[in-house]
Structure 1
Amino acid sequence: MQFEHLGASPRIHPDAVVAPTAVISGDVTIGAGCHVLHGAVLTAEGGPVVLGAHVIVMENALVRATSANAVRIGDHTLIGTFASIAGATLGDEVFLASGARVFNGARVGRRCEVRINAIVHRQTVLPEGTVVPIGWVAVGDPVQLLSSDQHEQIGAAQPELDFPGYVFGVDRDTPDLMVQLTERYASSLARHAADRRLD
């Protein structure tokens, strides 16, 4: 399914294959030889999504750009099932395994591997060839690779990340943080009410 969103329509190379149950919304460019499988969602929420050549987006993966952070995915990259990319840049020949998450402002270098259920945090930079092990968390620039049982180290890195401020424009110390966050986000998402299906 293809949708016009905020006046922009998807651009899909004639050699690309997009499953009929995939959702492609807004300013999305899909390059030559790409395959977007069933249930995948590629949505440009104010910023563009650009897939290079021969990118594979597996079933039920989510690729979302924001007005603050575009998504750019390099050639010959594979996005696994249930993986999620929000406003990040991935280089050429990256492997993002099933359930992996890459957050806003992150940059994943050429030939990196983000393995099953691993996380690349906001504004983290993975140098070329970095491997994030299964279930581990990558944080910062320079990057720290931490296992999921290193709660204190992960927690120590997170306040500096200021996820609510960076992504939603709400100060972490706001007394009604979730009220402010959800109301702002809902207002932004309401722009989909004017979307137009193209196919």
Structure 2
Amino acid sequence: MIIKSPFNDTIPKIHPTAFIAPDVVIIGDVEVGAYTNIWFGAKLRGDWGKIIVGKNTSIQENVVLHSRPKETCKIGNHVRLAHSCMCHGPCSVGDNSLVGINATILQGAKLGKGSTLAGGSILRDKTDDFCLYAGVPAIKKKEYSKNRLNEFSTNLYVENGQKFKKAGYGHKIPKEYLITE
């Protein structure tokens, strides 16, 4: 289901190359970048606040993105949000980062670029770039080399999403919700 917000009539803006699984829910002020893939059961509720998802990002099964009124939940480019994780804005995930299975990013938190939030962790603070965070609450466990970016390539997920899209399995996105460039 892809619909406008019942509160302020904002509508989703989705790049035509994005793959959106047929049971995904996208509501209101949500922007989805080029070649991003959003998998089965995910929910992006921009009914109150804004959600921005960059390009080449993978939002996997049962992920929930939401934001407080007049706030933003921002997910960068080349990001992987693993199964059943949650991000509640205002929050952000930097480019080339990974949020592990069932991890949570709370209001006011920021995961730095090139960083990892381990599965099951809860992030409530701003973090450094190129680091591993884990635990409840999440704390810095390790620093990464800046050369590590390629390890988190989302190309496999982009290719998979495009195969599903080409096979006709994607959501039929209404024309008024497509980004026109």
Bin of the TM-score, shorter chain as denominator length: 0.7 to 0.9
Match of 2:111 in 1: 108
TM-score, normalised to structure 1, is: 0.67
Number of residues paired by the alignment?
140
Paired with 1:69 and 1:126, the residues of 2 have a C-alpha distance of 19
Which residues in structure 2 correspond to 1:1-199 (within 5 Å)? 1-5=1-5, 6-87=8-89, 88-121=91-124, 124-133=125-134, 135-138=135-138, 144-145=139-140
User: Structure 1 unaligned runs (5+)?
Assistant: 139-143, 147-197
What SS does structure 2 have at the residue aligned with 1:42?
A: strand
Match of 2:177 in 1: none
Q: Could you tell me which amino acid in structure 2 is paired with residue 110 of structure 1?
A: K
Alpha-carbon deviation of 1:40? 0.1
Alpha-carbon deviation of 1:68? 4.8
Q: Could you tell me which amino acid in structure 2 is paired with residue 53 of structure 1?
A: K
Alpha-carbon deviation of 1:145? 4.7
4+ residue runs of structure 1 moved beyond 2 angstroms? none
Spell out, residue by residue over 1:91-111, the C-alpha distance to the aligned partner (whole angstroms, 9 max, x if none): 101100100000011111101
Paired with 1:67 and 1:130, the residues of 2 have a C-alpha distance of 30
Paired with 2:105 and 2:70, the residues of 1 have a C-alpha distance of 15
Paired with 1:42 and 1:101, the residues of 2 have a C-alpha distance of 15
- The structure with the greater share of residues assigned to strand is 2
TM-score, normalised to structure 2, is: 0.73
Spell out, residue by residue over 1:70-106, the C-alpha distance to the aligned partner (whole angstroms, 9 max, x if none): 1111100000101000001111011001000000111
The alignment-based identity, stated in percent, is 25
Spell out, residue by residue over 1:113-166, the C-alpha distance to the aligned partner (whole angstroms, 9 max, x if none): 001101101xx1111012113x4423xxxxx559xxxxxxxxxxxxxxxxxxxx
Larger RCO (alpha carbons 8 Å, 6+ apart): 2
Q: CA-atom RMSD, angstroms?
A: 1.6
- The structure with the greater share of residues assigned to helix is 1
